[in-house]
Amino acid sequence: MTRKFLRFLLATVFVISVTALAQTASAGPALPAAPSAAGTTPDPTVGGTGSKIGTINIEQAIFASNEGQRDFEVLSKKLEPKQTELKSMNDEVESLKKQLNTQSATLNDDSRGALVKQVEDKQKKLERSVQDARDDAQAQQNEIAQRILQKMAPIIVKYAGDKGFGLIMDTSNPWPQGPVLWAGPSVDITKAIVDAYNVQSGVPAPARPTTAKPAATGATRPAAPAGGTKPATTTPPPK
C-alpha cells in the first residue's frame, strides 16, 4: 500500500530500505489483531439499532491520534542507533564489492576467492541483521497499535450507537482489497473518533507535525472486535 499513513509509518517505525541495505524484498509493518477475550472488546449489540452506514479508516485513526503520534515518534528515535549500525554494515559491504570489481582482474585466484567469500559472508550477516531489526521494530510497533486499538474500539462502538449507525465499514484498504468501492466524506467518522479518543486519552497534540518518513508494504489491519463492529486503525499525521 502506498497511502500516506504507510509513508508515515515507515519513517516512524524504521527507516531502513532493504533495497539500499541488502537488496532484499521490503516488507511493511503489520498492525496486530484485536484480542477477542471477554472484557477486552465492546458488546457489539449495544446501540446497534440504527440504520445509517458509516466508514472509518482504522489505520489512520490509530496513527493520527495524539497518543499514536507521540509513541511512534518515541519508537522512531529509539530505533535510530540500530539504523545507524545497519547503515555502517551496508557501507562496508558496498566498499568490498567495489574493491572486488576494481581489483578482480589483478588479483590471483586465491586472493579473489578470499575477497568473494568475505563479501558473501558480510552480505549474509547484513541481511540477517536487517531482518532481525525489522522483526523487532514490527513487534514494538504492534504493541503500540494494539494498546491504542483496545482503548479506541469501545469509543467507536459508542459513537456509532449514539449517532444512529447500524454499520461501520473500514476503508483502510482501497477496493478491491477492501470492501468499500466508494464512500463520500460525509459518512466518514475517522476524525470524530480521533477527536474523541484524544479527549479520553488526555495526551496533548504534538508540538510539531510528525515528519518521520515511514517504511512499508502491505500492512494489515487489526481484526474487528469480537462479535461485529470493527475497531479503529490508522490516520496519517497532518502535513
- pLDDT tens per residue across span 12-57: 333 323 223 333 323 333 444 443 333 444 444 444 567 899 999 9
Task: Reduce the DSSP state of residue 131 to 3 states and report it.
Answer: helix
Say if residues 19 and 236 touch (Cβ distance below 8 Å). no
The closest alpha carbon to 103, from 90, 84, 118, belongs to 118
Place of cell 479518543: 197
Q: What integer pLDDT is reported at residue 50 of this predicted model? A: 74
Q: What integer pLDDT is reported at residue 104 of this predicted model? A: 83
Rounded distance, CA 237 to CA 14, Å?
16
**Statement: residue 137 has pLDDT above 50:** yes
Q: What integer pLDDT is reported at residue 118 of this predicted model? A: 94
Mean pLDDT of 79-97: 95
Rounded distance, CA 31 to CA 220, Å?
6
> Over pLDDT 90: what percentage of the chain?
54
Q: What is the mean pLDDT of the chain?
A: 75
**Statement: residue 145 has pLDDT above 70:** yes
**Statement: residue 203 has pLDDT above 80:** yes
**Statement: residue 220 has pLDDT above 80:** no
- Could you tell me the three cell numbers for 16? 531502513
Burial class (CB in 10 A: 0-12, 13-18, 19+), 19: exposed
The pTM of this model reads: 0.64
pLDDT-based confidence at residue 77 (cuts at 50, 70, 90): very high
Q: What integer pLDDT is reported at residue 82 of this predicted model? A: 95
Q: What integer pLDDT is reported at residue 8 of this predicted model? A: 38
pLDDT tens, 156-196?
A: 999 999 999 999 999 988 888 888 889 889 999 999 999 99
β-pairing verdict for 52-56 and 165-170: parallel
Q: What integer pLDDT is reported at residue 54 of this predicted model? A: 94
Q: What integer pLDDT is reported at residue 49 of this predicted model? A: 63
Mean pLDDT of 126-141: 95
> Over pLDDT 70: what percentage of the chain?
66
Mean pLDDT of 94-107: 90
Name the strand (E) or helix (H) holding 222. Answer: none
Rounded distance, CA 108 to CA 44, Å?
73
